[in-house]
Amino acid sequence: MKLVIGYFYPDYLNLYGDDGNVQILKYRAEKRGIEVEVVEVSTTTDISLLQPKEINLVFMGGGPDASQKDMYQDLLSNKKTFLKNYIEAGGVGLFICGSYQLLGDYYKAANGDVLEGLKIFDLYTISFGNKKPRCIGNVVCELNSASRHEPTFSHLNSIGGTLVGFENHGGRTYLGKNGTPLATIIKGHGNNSEDHTEGCIYKNVIGSYLHGPILARNPHLADYLIAKSLGVTDFGPIDDTMALDAHRLSLKL
């Protein structure tokens, strides 16, 4: 078995240690004897040389408005078809904050610039600048029921239905009628600090505002992404004492 992680725009979207998610996925897979290859994809990458089936897990991190503005045209012009085909075919992906926003209809940045998105998630995002405060702080949320009881996730899960992390975003995301929230906020802001939703899930792709990086204190989510990418349900054990302690302590923040 081989896990091929497509790490998109590492030079533009890597805020608050989001690249740690790729390191955690690699570590956790290799601890189970799974070969891992990380393929970095950015503005200079000719994506036509890559077949969607060669990659079985896509990761994109977050970034400031300026970085999003620098890369979104390449995303739209050169990577959109690959990602749409990959996602519609059931490809597994994790998109954090700034990249999560760009999977929706559009992101209206704090300076009023409108960055068109990939229209994969049914959502839109608006940053209200100084009219509304940034969403900053620790987050505790509860996975939606379907995600929590998804067979692969529930088989591997030993923590429960909570996800914890840290958020820092000006953009407020509003889900459309076909937008399924990843989780419900218990503590923190989440998508928009109004409707108590956090993130979005579509097919096998997760969008979330959780930095931290998200997978550091949510090993159950990390293992789910690996298992789903490889079509397996059983893994050998890993000593997760530190991660589990960090997760449980985060519930009390």
Give min distance, CB of 230 to ligand GLN, in A.
Answer: 28
**Member of 28, 32, 79, 169 binding ligand GLN (CB under 6 A):** 169
| Closer residue to ligand GLN (CB): 6 or 171 | 171
The answer to whether 198 contacts ligand GLN (rule: CB under 6 A) is: no
- Of the ranges 21-29, 115-123, 163-171, 189-197, which one interacts with ligand GLN (CB under 6 A)? 163-171
**Annotated catalytic residue 97:** yes
d(CA 83, CA 122): 16
Bridge partners (DSSP) of residue 185 are 141
**Tokens 């590492």 appear where?**
10
Active-site entry in 135, 189, 200, 211: 211
Compute the distance between CA of residue 35 and CA of residue 197 in angstroms, rounded to an integer.
36
Kindly list the strands in the beta sheet with 171-175, ordered across the sheet, starting from the edge strand earlier in the chain: 114-116, 106-108, 123-127, 171-175
Query: Measured between alpha carbons, how far is 211 from 199 in angstroms, rounded to an integer?
Result: 12
Which one of 77-85, 112-120, 165-173, 184-192 is the stretch in contact with ligand GLN (CB under 6 A)?
165-173
> Which residues does 128 contact at the CB level (< 8 Å), separation at least 6?
110, 170, 172
| Element spanning 220, H or E | helix 219-230
C-alpha 55/C-alpha 57 separation (Å) is 6
Q: Which is nearer to ligand GLN, 43 or 152 (CB)?
A: 43
| Smallest separation, CB 233 to ligand GLN (Å) | 32
Return the residue of 23, 42, 78, 168 that touches ligand GLN, per CB under 6 A.
168
Which of 8, 29, 65, 86: binder of ligand GLN (CB under 6 A)?
A: 65
Of 196, 213, 205, nearest to 229 by C-alpha is 205
| 84 vs 132, beta carbon nearer ligand GLN | 132
| 149 counts as catalytic | no
In 3-state terms, the chain is what percent helix, strand and coil (to 5)?
Answer: 30, 30, 40
> Does residue 21 interact with ligand GLN by CB under 6 A?
no
Closest contact distance (angstroms) between CB of 181 and ligand GLN is 17
Pull the structure tokens for residue 107: 């992101």
* Residues acting as catalytic residues: 97, 211
Residue ranges in contact with ligand GLN by CB under 6 A = 15, 62-65, 68, 97-98, 127, 168-171
